[in-house]
Structure 1
Amino acid sequence: MKMRESRVLRKLRAGETASCLKINFGDGQVSELAAMMGFDCLWVDREHLAQDWSVVSTHIRSAKAHDVDVMVRVPRGSYSDYIKPLELDAAGILVPHVMSLEDAKSIVKMTRFHPLGKRAIDGGSADAGYTGIPLTEYMQQANSQRFVILQIEDYEPLKEIEAIAALEGYDMLFFGPGDFSQSIGAPGQWDHPELLNARRLVAEAARKHGKFAATSGSIDSLKDFLSMGYQFVNVGADVVGMKNYCQSIQQKIHEA
């Protein structure tokens, strides 16, 4: 028995780009629908949303049925908050607000098995085939087929961005424009010079040190992101689609 391979890592390691859609609704049917549409990855959020573990598990199973990855953004907390999505067989985790090199080292230690880190071992969960994968093989496969992403969304870690990018044991640097815009005192100003410079800086540092560059933004800016070197891009969300659809119907009702 082998661990399911990550679709995202397969594409990125082949030099391709990977698409991602953010899932806010707490029902696996939404993930099933999005997976059927062909996205490479679905982003389930536990930093801001109150989705319990059973709901997260349903998202993961719905996506896996169509060979689609799930990335869970974890809340900052204990090691168990970080590894539970992985044990449920999420393909990866996104750790928000990484503030320094020491912070990044701590995350790697908690989320990677030996020799990269000291992630707590179980082996009886979904990612290990419920003990179906021998322990040493499970640890090796988890280190190579599950991705850990560090989110840079504050001004402070930029002074150590080269050292963070060079750190061994994780896969991607993710530039988060929303909170970054707030950290520089320009909330929502996506074309602010400091934000644009930081977005380029993160992508350059990631690629220089053998990491993949990831970010989020408008689908209309996708070509710009790709030209900067970003390979993993989130460019939409289920709530935006539903809101826009309802607005368009209401508009037609009023016009009629």
Structure 2
Amino acid sequence: MRKSKVLAKLRAGKVVCSFKTNLDSARATEIAAMAGFECIWTCLEHGPNDISLIERQINAAKAWDTDVMVRVARGSYSDYIHPLELDAAGIMVPHVMSLEDAKNVVRMTRFAPIGRRAVDSGFADAQYCNVDLATYTREANEQRFVAIQIEDPEPLADLDAIAELDGIDIIFFGPGDFSHGLGAPGQWNHPKIAEARQRIVQVAKAHGKVAGTVGNPGNLKELVAMGYRFINVGGDVITLREHCRKLVEAVDRQPS
């Protein structure tokens, strides 16, 4: 099985920076991979992506030896394992709300003895039946990562128990939805957001997990100092928007 670059860096104690793609285009994914990002974060929770496009995005990134993390739709177990079968290096599960919810994630996404993920080795992650079943299931548990998003106030009560679970690699704080859940949308300096951001790092460290969140080049150093080691630093939509604005401003400054 292809080894995960993200897991190799995280297990070495290093920081991983990802780039999020919202545009429904494998070309956008490939451009970001060509630029040198170690991980591309794409999504089935929001937006127009379907599983066929996700497959093209994964293959585009693999051509440049880049991992893809797919945020899954909250549906049946098939929604969770399809990206893994297509050889995504990892998945992200949004809005994990409780300990039981997190246990369910592990059951659906990890092979025995950790979970009870359904087995079919006829896809890219098992090299189309070119890997024996025992090797496939063992390596999938070792070389594929599962991130869960803590983006609501409710799961904080279970956070320690959630972080204890075998089979979860990254505890990812989502401040956007968290602020909405507090009734304070977009208030990034809200004290409860600051408290949750810090607590997630502390709990993740205590249980040998990686703390992840969203950031940018301007606050990357601060987040790393806080203890975050998986940080999304940008995205295609914001990058395109900002570049277009700067071009328009530059053109508008020219004499007419």
Q: TM-score, normalised by structure 2?
A: 0.97
1:182 maps to a residue whose letter is H
Deviation at 1:91, TM superposition (A): 0.3
Q: 1:179 is matched with which residue: 177, 191, 195?
A: 177
Identity in percent: 54
Q: 1:147 is matched with which residue: 142, 145, 148?
A: 145
1:78 is matched with which residue?
76
- CA distance in structure 1 between the partners assigned to 2:61 and 2:54 by the alignment: 11
Query: What's the secondary structure of 1:219's corresponding residue?
Result: coil
The runs of at least 4 aligned residues of structure 1 exceeding 3 Å deviation read: none
How do residues 191-210 of structure 1 correspond to structure 2 at under 5 angstroms? 191-210=189-208
Q: Any idea what the Cα deviations from partners look like across 1:138-197, whole Å, max 9, x if unmatched?
A: 000000100011100000000111111111111110000100011111111111111011
2:216 is matched with which residue?
218
1:244 aligns with 2:247: no
1:159 aligns with 2:148: no
Task: Flag structure 1 segments of 5+ consecutive residues without an equivalent.
Answer: none
Query: What's the secondary structure of 2:120's corresponding residue?
Result: coil
Q: Any idea what the Cα deviations from partners look like across 1:115-134, whole Å, max 9, x if unmatched?
A: 00000000000000000111
1:227 aligns with 2:225: yes
- CA distance in structure 2 between the partners assigned to 1:140 and 1:208 by the alignment: 26
Task: Flag structure 2 segments of 5+ consecutive residues without an equivalent.
Answer: none
Query: What's the secondary structure of 1:42's corresponding residue?
Result: strand
- CA distance in structure 2 between the partners assigned to 1:195 and 1:219 by the alignment: 20
Query: What's the secondary structure of 1:189's corresponding residue?
Result: coil
Q: TM-score, normalised by structure 1?
A: 0.97
Deviating more after overlay: 43-52 vs 138-147 = 43-52
Q: 2:96 is matched with which residue: 92, 98, 102?
A: 98
Deviation at 1:252, TM superposition (A): 1.8
1:45 is matched with which residue?
43
2:8 is matched with which residue?
10
